[in-house]
Amino acid sequence: MNEWWRGAVIYQIYPRSFQDSNGDGIGDLPGIIDRLEHVAALGADAIWISPFFRSPMKDFGYDIAGYTEIDPMFGTLEDYDRLVATAHELGLKVVIDQVYSHSSDLCPWFAESRQARTGPRADWYVWADPKPDGTPPNNWLSVFGGPAWDWEPRRRQYYLHNFLAEQPDLNLLNPEVQDAVLDVARFWLDRGTDGFRLDVVNFYAHDAQLRDNPPRPHPDPVKPYWLQRPLYNRSRPETLPIIERLRGVLDGYDARMLVGEIASDKPVQDLVEYTDGRKRLHTAYTFVFLREPVTAGGIRATLAEVAKAPDGAWPSWAFSNHDVPRVVTRWGAGRDRTAFAKQMIALLCSLRGTAFLYQGEELGLPNADVPFEDLQDPEGIRFWPDHISRDNARTPMVWEASAHNAGFSDGVPWLPVDIAQRTLAVDRQAGDPSSVLAFTKRFLAWRKTKPALITGDIRFFDLPDPVLGFERFGAGGEALVCVFNLGTEPVRVRLPLEVRPLDQDLALPGEVDGDLVDLPVCAAVFARP
């Protein structure tokens, strides 16, 4: 069995912001093709491309109107086929987003469903009668603010939308809807796609009784959604059979994979449940390392809990993506930015699991500064200024420091290029052996020679915060000791065993003397027991 995804490094491409090939200010599939050699040179194993399907772009592609169509702003099906072929020639697998939780309100499926309570697609979305006083059927809230219900006068009913009102929720409890999305999956698999990243996979099912969600206290509720425990419209047990049907489709193809995105208040429990056995997801990631500040103890506890899963659930981890502030900004306060970025690359790619790198992470990019008048993100606009817009992590990739728009586009970019990021452009870092880019290439190349770091098990040392220490060991007897200082002061720590430093130049300052390890700020040590 070719489990290429197990321990892989997958590079996320946000297509709007990666490379524009035609001067319209929006990145596209031909632009991605032009830059694939950059990704391959990093040492990544695969790319994950965020949505590029036909869409009105109310949520920038996560509102799909045509599930088997390329939006013209991104190119054509022929461009996609060429992208897959080029990626495969470079040794890269191709993973694409699939958004089955909801569609656009301009999707033909919804256009038909909203017309009447009878008809072939009448029950393809989640419809409910109002309460006697005309209010929504229950208290469920939208992630993007306000009730999760909107009124459709033609049916005299409300429809569910866990996100924007323009993103009605598909009724995946309906087997016909499941059949439809499985046909979508087959369409992309037949074109050579190697895997799917399933957007908000734990939103696939809802409580058929439409019971009210219980309250949840929150100390600073910028969003009303935070004041509710989404017990009945998220992470429902009815989701698992849907996932199993989808896994059955992928099992009919060679070497394909499913990775799920899980946004949950019980993230590790859901991750384990959704990847349990060989009938569900191959792997999944949560927001546990994408939201709150993370401590050494928190990382240790999270991975230890996953490792206790009876069927050996395989996790995925990310420190940055298109929905959250970049890790250098989110966690790096009080540290040298370049050193911290290198340490985060090393840490992410040393944990047991599959690693997801977000475009620009290999450059150590911080969040961009996007003025309010330039914001595009509907969530960022609605909750400004108390909630950081997703746009700050979505600005165009910086390729050439002195070029127009940093080499991203000859036109006016859909989001402004941050001047402060130009000094970190690819061409500036390419010839600098001390750069984050050079380190990323060096580390990923070195990692490929260490099977224990790719598929090995993990055992944590009982060390005090802010030091994180663990051993990775593989079936062939190889073992590596990894120790990180995640604090803002130098530390000396005693390990429970003596170690020998490895002969490698990873430029992560740290010294080993028997069982003693000296770690400056942002340092790490890799050693043999």
Residues marked as catalytic: 199, 261
**Token pair for residue 210?**
């439409």
Tokens of 306: 């996953």
CB atoms within 10 A of CB 209: 7
Closest CA to 435 of 524, 321, 357, 345: 345
Contact indicator for 43, 453 with CB cutoff of 8 Å: no
Q: Fill in the DSSP letter of residue 168.
A: P
**Enclosing H/E stretch for 303:** helix 296-307
Pair 354, 317: CB distance under 8 Å? yes
Q: Nearest CA to 321 among 261, 269, 380? A: 261
29, with CB counted inside 10 A (0-12, 13-18, 19+), is buried
Q: Which residue has the tokens 């219980």?
A: 214
HEC readout, 466-483: CEEEEEEECCCCCEEEEE
| SS3 assignment, position 366 | coil
> Are 148 and 142 in contact, with CB atoms under 8 Å apart?
yes
Strand partners, 277: none
CB neighbours of residue 128 within 10 Å:
15
Alpha-carbon distance of 320 to 178, in angstroms, equals 31
Amino acid making up residue 493:
V
Q: Which residues contact 150 (CB under 8 A, 6 or more apart)?
A: 158, 159, 161, 165, 168
Would you give the distance in Å from CA 18 to the centre of its chain?
Answer: 16
Could you tell me the two tokens for 287?
A: 């927001």
DSSP assignment of 390-451, as one string?
Answer: GGGGTSPP---TTSGGGGS-SS--SSPPPGGGGGG-HHHHHT-TTSHHHHHHHHHHHHTT-H
Going by C-alpha positions, the residue among 91, 73, 47 that lies closest to residue 448 is: 91
Contact criterion met (CB below 8 Å) for 460 and 303: yes
- Start-to-end CA span in the chain (Å): 31
* Chain-centroid distance, C-alpha 264: 14
Beta bridge mates, 460: 470
Token output for 103: 């569609």
Contact call for residues 166 and 229 (beta carbons, < 8 A):
no
**Which among 16, 19, 28 is positioned nearest to 407, based on CA atoms?**
19
